[in-house]
Amino acid sequence: MVATVLKLRYRVLANTLARRPWQLVGFILSSLWGLGMLSALVAGIIALALFQGQEVAAVVVILGGSLLVIGWVIGPILVAGVESTVDATRLAPFPLTRRQVMSALAGAGITGIPGIVTMLAALATVILWVRWPVAAVVAVPSVLLGVLTCVLASRLMTELSGGLGGNRRGREVVGTVVLVLVIMTGPIMLGILNLLDSAGGDLVTRLQQAAEILPWTPLGAAWSIAPSIAAGEWIPALARTAIAVATLALLWVVWDRVLDAAATSPRQRATKAVAAGKIGLFGVFPTGGVGATWARALHGWLRDPRYLRQLITIPLFPVLFAILGGIDGFGFLVSPIVAALVLSIAGYTDISYDGTAFAAVLATGVRGREDRLGRILGAAVIGIPVIVIVAVATAMIAGDPARLPATLGASLGILFAGYAVCAVSSTLIVTPVAAPGDSPFKSVPGQTAVGGLLVFLVWGAVVVLALPSIVLAIIGFASGAEMWGWLSLAAGLGIGAVLVAVGVNVGGRMLERNGPDLLVRIKAFPT
pLDDT per residue as tens, the chain (527 positions):
777 877 877 787 777 777 767 667 767 777 787 788 778 877 877 887 777 778 888 888 888 888 888 888 776 555 545 555 666 667 767 777 778 888 888 887 888 777 888 888 888 888 888 888 898 899 899 999 999 998 888 888 777 765 544 445 545 554 555 555 555 555 555 555 555 555 455 556 767 777 888 889 888 889 889 889 988 889 988 999 999 999 999 999 988 888 777 655 544 444 454 444 456 676 677 778 888 888 888 888 887 777 777 777 787 788 778 776 777 777 888 889 999 998 888 888 888 888 888 888 888 888 989 999 999 999 999 999 999 999 999 988 888 888 899 999 999 999 999 999 999 988 888 877 766 655 555 555 555 555 667 788 888 999 999 999 999 999 988 888 889 999 999 999 999 999 999 999 999 999 999 888 888 888 876 55
**Three-state helix/strand/coil letters over 23-49:** HHHHHHHHHHHHHHHHHHHHHHHHHHH
- Each residue's pLDDT tens digit, 328-347: 777 888 889 999 998 888 88
Region of 166 on the Ramachandran plot (φ > 0 left; ψ -120 to 50 alpha; else beta)? left
Q: For residues 520 and 211, what is the distance between their CA atoms, to the nearest angstrom?
A: 55
Q: For residues 167 and 171, what is the distance between their CA atoms, to the nearest angstrom?
A: 7
Which residues are CB-contacts of 249 (< 8 A; sequence separation ≥ 6)? Answer: none
Q: For residues 410 and 328, what is the distance between their CA atoms, to the nearest angstrom?
A: 20
The answer to whether the beta carbons of residues 65 and 220 sit under 8 Å apart is yes
For residue 430, the SS3 value is coil
Q: For residues 480 and 493, what is the distance between their CA atoms, to the nearest angstrom?
A: 21
User: What predicted TM-score, i.e. pTM, was given to this entire model?
Assistant: 0.61
pLDDT of 275: 46
pLDDT of 488: 93
For residue 427, the SS3 value is coil
- Each residue's pLDDT tens digit, 118-165: 888 888 888 888 888 898 899 899 999 999 998 888 888 777 765 544
pLDDT of 211: 80
Q: For residues 211 and 488, what is the distance between their CA atoms, to the nearest angstrom?
A: 48
The answer to whether the beta carbons of residues 26 and 449 sit under 8 Å apart is yes
Nearest Cα residue to 381 out of 298, 495, 289, 503: 298
The phi and psi torsions of 506 (rounded to 5 degrees) equal -65, -45
Q: For residues 396 and 344, what is the distance between their CA atoms, to the nearest angstrom?
A: 24
